Structure 1
């Protein structure tokens, strides 16, 4: 097995692989290491410090330098963050005063021209001071007990950590993000192990692509679409089938494997040919690479391509179901759907609205043990939000792109929803493991159980959509950093301020530097060497109920095209001082790689008692090709934000309630808790000092709470 770069493992797992270096006295290095970690918001576990202390100094130094570099990148401290206003958060001028000053510097005492392009003024958008001058204008950060200190743990060897990460990602019960899918691709090429199971089909395609290249048997291929996904993954394309793939030329041995897989599937179940029409053009393109006419030994596989070319007609399953609904034969539709339990469960809402209540309840109760855990949780969450009318019907695709329309659906019958939910909970409880000693941090209970990681970005402190977490500190500071690739690119950080009814109460952006107690660090438009913008929101004085930060692509390259694009937030006490960017105060940093031109990663809301919490959105709006501004998209953004706030997510607390019914004991974790025997710990982060053999589930692995 070829091991991964240990910096990748540290960034992904917050575990430090053991150094193979020789034994020696590394205690001085360990002390320096622990001090530097605090500056970036981390703390070494006791076990990690003992490991570094026991290494010879050169090996200890090499290890700690790599680890610190990886962590600086995790929090966003590996780049220069230099705001337009040198003294930010102090000295932010009124917007009109600022524009007049830029104009005076451009024309001096001459009369102003009748038309002025404010964005082209020589002092606008380009930082007028050096990074060193900005640093000199700020006092040192005063440490606070509220600063983030994430515990960094010791792992196994690099090979062991590589293998563990591969098995964890391959076994994910939910789809991975695009970045994680790419990492899984690399891990699968390095690890010859066969995972116990790969529940998600696109993840399975990535694993099978590595097995195909290595000449190993395929695993878990049970539909013709699985073979298509595999061909896409093996060509370096998209196994989710959302984007087109240019198929590569396959070796003859590989063509035989793919054709044999198709032949075996169709021979065992001719009805599987009904799925070919869903991706007809892709099948035709793949046929050009597989040369099915050369494989007379696989006549059933040749039928796949005959259907794609329409030389052979096969009615699809979806077509037969639609025919029943079209005839008003709801019981017949349910009987047909019962043969495809996954489709049945995804059609529950439609059947209930069509009057098939008793039929679908019985069908669900009969088929509940044949559906994936992810579908059970997904249907449970959907039904929990369908007994009352929605403000609007919201659609969010796999890439996080959101849009709304009027919701004309009637609410579902509460009694029927309760019966179906009871069946789902009973099955989920049956599948969930029984833990002898269950220990739960109450901070984790409000986090959403992820049903997909598709729109969840890589980074630090990133939570699933719908999660809600408590916010500490007096000051909330947003930041965005980007670096263009080929052409001039201007991103704009902005904030929507919304009232109790999600109506616009104000905004802060490059067009309005101050509003409602919040203020902007100044617009930067040149990102050849990277650019950063900040917005401060003093939580004790801001007048809004909801604060919604956005990143707008004003011009140039989009989020997936720039060399680097991140969003994050920090929290501070008012008396902490410090630079505009302080790694130890970063609570969240996430990549921005969505396909829309406006990003809304998270919102913040003020509760009646004055406390604040963060609610995770992971939303992208389509926006315009040029000139996106908060003034032009605030209506759509506020409707989408409201839909996420009002939606009832399936939370970790819901799953914990089911787990408690089977647990030998249940304990609420508090700081300083100690245990003498292994436990199952569920929390936001792993605390130091858990006994060996403990099972740990944190925000990075919440997906493992979804049973297969």
Structure 2
């Protein structure tokens, strides 16, 4: 178990906990460890090398085996990446020529001849029936032998592993950071939090757990350990029941509650009873989740516990046997009567709801007096609103066009599902909108800590703040939705890998090229294996042992302004059903050959998890200066049950891309500017000179040599930047 926790710390922090072992002469083993790490794009810091050199060689080697397994999985090097065309990206044939070759081979195959001839006579040939199509035609070792070894280049990725403290201290710090996060966690991080919580039930706890999903998984661990539960609403109990049933703690998807043992039923009913007894008004929360509460009541049997009468009231409200008007219903009643002032008065008791409703309230105002009441209420209650809500409303207001309407809005749910609708909202009044933005900025600045010496890597300034649901996916080098990051390289190569669980599954990697007006220029896919500047590695149609597809692009030859890689599910299991699936991209210098997959050149690798049958991880934008940058999407389209292809969804993709590209996301730059107002010194990091004293560092990666008392914020803990 300690090895799993150590791996978790490395994945989340790029810190290597102090290995537990005897002193010795481990210098040679440490250098071998460092060399092995460099082959997959990682490196030990000077501090880690020095520490390992003082341990026994056996301890260092055991640490190396565990750490290498962790980082290889992070970068996607834990699986075999074969290609259909053995020489890829060289000698990729023309698509029609390749199909004709497959047909010719099928006609020469006794087992496929009659079937293929019949299809030719009918005028339509199903590629999947051709024996030479869609399956690897050579072994992995044969493919490796066909490629030269990668020659290292200055532009290769090198991720440094920094020295950590004792494992127990590192695990505690990681638990506190995840549990106390002000932003929602992704699926993998939430799972990690649940495991960490089980190990830290009796240890230090965060001062607050502001995200309700986080509280649910922590409560599950506390319930298993017999510790007191952290509950202050009836919905906390509902989320805990979902966690105990391995369901969706965000409540976005229905959960099938399992049959709970009696001790668990007693604990859940006791929690509900205590919450309602302390504040009967919280019964109003039941209406928002009436159906899940009814189904939970069927599992908890509250009638068997007459000592918990307040818990029974929860289910009476869910069944409609008792009235408990919710705040939302009373606000709707006031707005239905055009009484904005009354609605504001009601919402002032729930500042978070008030701030989320500011746009609607201002649009409903008929008089200046009502508009003044809305802004005054926001000014009076801003100090009681969660920092993430403040920033989310700030981003919303800065995207409200003064003229109003006439544009399309992109909606993204918690799971990354996306859709587009016309924006028919009238404009917001400019004066009140400006006052609200000033309130939001002032309150956010007040909560930010004094940074002292603020050291900023300019490359991080365009990284978006993780303000919503699954704004990122688990992986390496992944940034939140809306982020921009530079692309420095001449060869861009996408890859997808998947392994089916039970059914034959065909994922198709494609890339769509668009012009500055978001019109289609061309694409690369299994139906278009080559194009100016690019090649596809060939279609693989099943993955019982895992399969990979690649697209290679020479950026100086790409036509158009946008490159949109996508993964289409042609048939079989979905992204949530396959045993494993991930996407990523590599960057190489023009003369770097090497194998199709080279871990040192991987810049990003992210898990593919989400709804729908089409995944859009990110896009690439060519700027006015000719330089390319990545724009992070993390979106999914519903697609069709089968046969999804780039040709069929290019209009939807273009509309979604336009919505994301033209949206003004709130980035690290915003909070850096607010922090800079309080900083004693602000320095732009030049990539070389590290100040001698403690700093607050904002950057993409932690530099070596920072003072040990420095506060470091990188994409791995970007959520820590969001004020409480």
Fold shared by both chains (TM-score > 0.5): yes
CA distance in 1, matches of 2:121, 2:148: 42
Q: 1:322 aligns with which of 326, 332, 341?
A: 332
The reply on whether 1:395 has 2:411 as its aligned counterpart is: yes
Instruction: Report deviation, 1:424.
Output: 0.3
Q: Which residue of 1 aligns with 2:662?
A: 646
The reply on whether 1:667 has 2:665 as its aligned counterpart is: no
Q: Is the 8 A contact 2:41 2:159 kept in 1?
A: yes
Q: Which residue of 1 aligns with 2:465?
A: 449
CA distance in 1, matches of 2:397, 2:446: 20
CA distance in 1, matches of 2:604, 2:191: 22
SS at match of 2:121: coil
CA distance in 1, matches of 2:532, 2:339: 57
Q: Counterparts of 1:460-471 in structure 2 under 5 Å?
A: 460-471=476-487
Instruction: Report deviation, 1:346.
Output: 0.8
Q: Which moved more, 1:272-281 or 1:569-578?
A: 272-281
Instruction: Report deviation, 1:306.
Output: 1.1
CA distance in 2, matches of 1:452, 1:54: 45
CA distance in 2, matches of 1:273, 1:135: 64
The reply on whether 1:208 has 2:219 as its aligned counterpart is: yes
**Cα deviation 1:656-676 (Å, max 9, x = unaligned):** 000011112111112221222
SS at match of 1:481: strand
Q: 2:161 aligns with which of 152, 159, 162?
A: 152
**Cα deviation 1:635-684 (Å, max 9, x = unaligned):** 11111111111111110010000001111211111222122222111110
Q: Is the 8 A contact 1:435 1:680 kept in 2?
A: yes
Instruction: Report deviation, 1:14.
Output: 1.4
Q: Counterparts of 1:555-704 in structure 2 under 5 Å?
A: 555-704=571-720
Which structure 1 residue ranges, 5 or more long, are not aligned?
Answer: none
CA distance in 2, matches of 1:571, 1:650: 27
Q: Which residue of 1 aligns with 2:300?
A: 290
Q: Counterparts of 1:446-525 in structure 2 under 5 Å?
A: 446-525=462-541
Instruction: Report deviation, 1:477.
Output: 0.4
CA distance in 1, matches of 2:409, 2:374: 23
Q: Counterparts of 1:79-228 in structure 2 under 5 Å?
A: 79-108=79-108, 112-114=120-122, 115-192=124-201, 193=203, 194-219=205-230, 221-228=231-238
Q: Counterparts of 1:533-572 in structure 2 under 5 Å?
A: 533-572=549-588
CA distance in 2, matches of 1:697, 1:598: 33
Q: Is the 8 A contact 1:2 1:191 kept in 2?
A: no
SS at match of 2:154: coil
Do the aligned partners of residues 285 and 650 (structure 1) sit closer, same or farther apart at CA in structure 2, a change above 3 Å counting? same
Q: Which residue of 2 aligns with 1:308?
A: 318
Instruction: Report deviation, 1:256.
Output: 4.1
Q: Which residue of 2 aligns with 1:74?
A: 74
CA distance in 2, matches of 1:390, 1:162: 51
Say what the alpha-carbon RMSD is for the aligned residues. 1.7
Q: 1:428 aligns with which of 441, 444, 450?
A: 444
Q: Which moved more, 1:103-112 or 1:564-573?
A: 103-112
CA distance in 2, matches of 1:307, 1:453: 29
CA distance in 2, matches of 1:354, 1:537: 51
Q: 1:363 aligns with which of 377, 386, 392?
A: 377
Q: Which residue of 1 aligns with 2:392?
A: 378
Q: Which moved more, 1:650-659 or 1:281-290?
A: 281-290
- TM-score, length-normalised on structure 2? 0.95
Do the aligned partners of residues 106 and 414 (structure 1) sit closer, same or farther apart at CA in structure 2, a change above 3 Å counting? same
CA distance in 2, matches of 1:530, 1:253: 43
SS at match of 1:576: coil
Q: Which moved more, 1:154-163 or 1:232-241?
A: 232-241
Q: 2:256 aligns with which of 246, 249, 260?
A: 246
SS at match of 1:567: strand
SS at match of 1:540: helix
The reply on whether 1:232 has 2:245 as its aligned counterpart is: no
Equivalent pairs counted in the alignment come to 707
Instruction: Report deviation, 1:252.
Output: 4.8
CA distance in 2, matches of 1:173, 1:184: 14
Q: Which moved more, 1:150-159 or 1:645-654?
A: 150-159
Instruction: Report deviation, 1:604.
Output: 0.2
Q: Is the 8 A contact 1:560 1:595 kept in 2?
A: yes
Instruction: Report deviation, 1:229.
Output: 1.2
Q: Which moved more, 1:585-594 or 1:454-463?
A: 454-463
CA distance in 1, matches of 2:143, 2:312: 68
SS at match of 2:97: helix
Q: Is the 8 A contact 2:622 2:628 kept in 1?
A: yes
Instruction: Report deviation, 1:180.
Output: 1.4
Q: Which moved more, 1:155-164 or 1:539-548?
A: 155-164
Q: Is the 8 A contact 1:466 1:645 kept in 2?
A: yes
SS at match of 2:539: coil
CA distance in 1, matches of 2:622, 2:326: 51
CA distance in 2, matches of 1:501, 1:608: 14
Q: Is the 8 A contact 1:48 1:154 kept in 2?
A: yes
**Cα deviation 1:219-278 (Å, max 9, x = unaligned):** 2x2221112112222333322112333334545554444333323332333222111122
- TM-score, length-normalised on structure 1? 0.97
Q: Is the 8 A contact 1:142 1:575 kept in 2?
A: no
SS at match of 2:91: coil
CA distance in 1, matches of 2:4, 2:79: 24
SS at match of 2:232: coil
